[in-house]
Structure 1
Amino acid sequence: MSANKAERVIEIDQICGRLYEERRMRLEPMPYRVGYPILKLVYSAATNAIHNVGLNEASLIISKAEVVKGYYCEKMKTSSSRA
């Protein structure tokens, strides 16, 4: 999955600065394939905050959502060998 597709979902949904419950309800019926991994990421972050820090689920706000493109590696081209 490309970073451009994930970026599009984050921009359409405008995740940043919204309550967790509101964003979760909006990401669940999303028709794009990349919506499910983003939903899993948001759900995992909320579960960690609730379990490890002891925060209340109703008070969670998504402060930052960022998609970073990974590195690009070209395939090596072999040169013809002479015998």
Structure 2
Amino acid sequence: MTSSSSLEARAISRYVRVSPYKVRRILNQIRGRSYQDSVILLKYMPYKVCSIILKILFSAVSNAKQSFGKNDNLFVISEARADEAPFLKRFRPHAQGRGFPIKKRMSHIIIKVKVV
């Protein structure tokens, strides 16, 4: 017989062109919440990254349904994290002929859902 802690599915989105600092601000809000609550929060938050996180969350729940055949109401977000990805290096002209480096950051977003 399997324990409920092993019933966990995940979804990963790599090289998302959003800074991990901006993604973590949203992920901290949904971590530990139920799937239904998280969807409601993400739909009404005014940030660009919410639509990206919502797609990843839908994918994780879809993976869980495919693997375990459980209902939507039973899922809780067990892990939500944004890791640093390689960044794009760009330069902006500055005073006296110098170049000012700009880092265009990217993220790897990982969401895991488990059955309660």
The verdict on a shared fold, with TM-score over 0.5 as the criterion, is yes
TM range (shorter): 0.7 to 0.9
- C-alpha RMSD of matched pairs (Å): 1.5
Cα shift readout 1:2-49 (whole Å, capped 9, x = no counterpart) = 1111111122xx212111011101101111001110011111111111
TM-score, normalised on structure 1?
A: 0.77
Q: Which has the higher helix share?
A: 1
Q: How many residues were matched structurally? A: 73
Consecutive unaligned residues in structure 2, runs of 5 or more: 1-17, 91-116
The structure with more strand, counted as a fraction of residues: 2
Q: Aligned residue for 2:23? A: 6
Question: Would you say 1:65 and 2:106 are equivalent positions?
Answer: no
Alignment of 1:13-52 (within 5 A): 14-52=29-67
Query: What's the offset of the Cα at 1:52?
Result: 2.6
Over alpha carbons, which structure has the higher Rg?
1
Map Cα deviations across residues 35-72 of structure 1 (whole Å, 9 max, x no partner). Answer: 11001111111111112321221100100101100124
TM superposition score normalised by structure 2: 0.57
